[in-house]
């Protein structure tokens, strides 16, 4: 599928994800927010998986809305602008989760299916295509 990155560029994007996770975690700690809240809400963006029950197109849209930096940065920015710790907390947890997923190679999704991401193939798709390629 076109639009996927490979090689060194993919590695850089995954390292960027790791840096995002680390910096969001450091900021979260420095602002003194609750780590219990962090643990509880860290997986919240993954509720977007339920969109896949309605098909791959809707699933990809829901996943991408929940895993794009746009929403997380807007929430965090508004939180700092208004000095609202709740929005800062949400924004930092959200950014950390996005960074975590990107570091693991889970990118924004294409409507072809869950395993088709802008960072490359993941899951069963990656294994089956890799095995097919190896046996040619």
Confidence of residue 25 (pLDDT cuts 50, 70, 90): very high
The better pLDDT of the pair 116, 51 is held by: 51
Tokens of 54: 């309605």
pLDDT digits (tens, 9 = 90+) for 36-65: 999 999 999 999 999 999 999 999 999 999
E strand residue ranges, 57-126:
109-110, 113-117, 120-121
Nearby residues of 44 by Cβ (< 8 Å), 6 or more positions away = 93, 94, 97
Asked if pLDDT for residue 131 goes beyond 60, the answer is no
Rounded to two decimals, the pTM is: 0.86
Token pair in block for residue 22: 């680390």
- pLDDT band at residue 124 under the 50/70/90 scheme: low
Distance CA 24, CA 41 (A): 14
Q: Write the DSSP string, 42-77.
A: TTGGGGGGGGGGG-HHHHHHHHHHHHSHHHHHHHHH
Map out the domains of the chain as residue ranges: 7-134
- Kindly state the tokens that stand for 1: 């599928």
């Amino acid at each position: 599928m076109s639009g996927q990155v490979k090689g060194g560029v993919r590695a850089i994007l995954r390292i960027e994800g790791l840096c995002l996770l680390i910096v969001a975690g450091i900021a979260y700690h420095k602002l003194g927010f609750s780590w219990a809240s962090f643990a509880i809400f860290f997986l919240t963006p993954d509720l977007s998986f339920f969109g896949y029950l309605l098909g791959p197109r809707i699933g990809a849209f829901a996943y991408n809305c929940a895993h794009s930096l746009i929403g997380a940065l807007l929430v965090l920015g508004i939180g700092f602008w208004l000095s609202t710790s709740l929005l800062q907390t949400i924004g930092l947890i959200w950014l950390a989760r996005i960074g975590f997923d990107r570091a693991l190679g889970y990118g924004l999704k294409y409507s072809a299916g869950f395993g088709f991401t802008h960072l490359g193939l993941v899951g069963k798709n990656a294994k089956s295509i890799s095995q097919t390629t190896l046996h040619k």
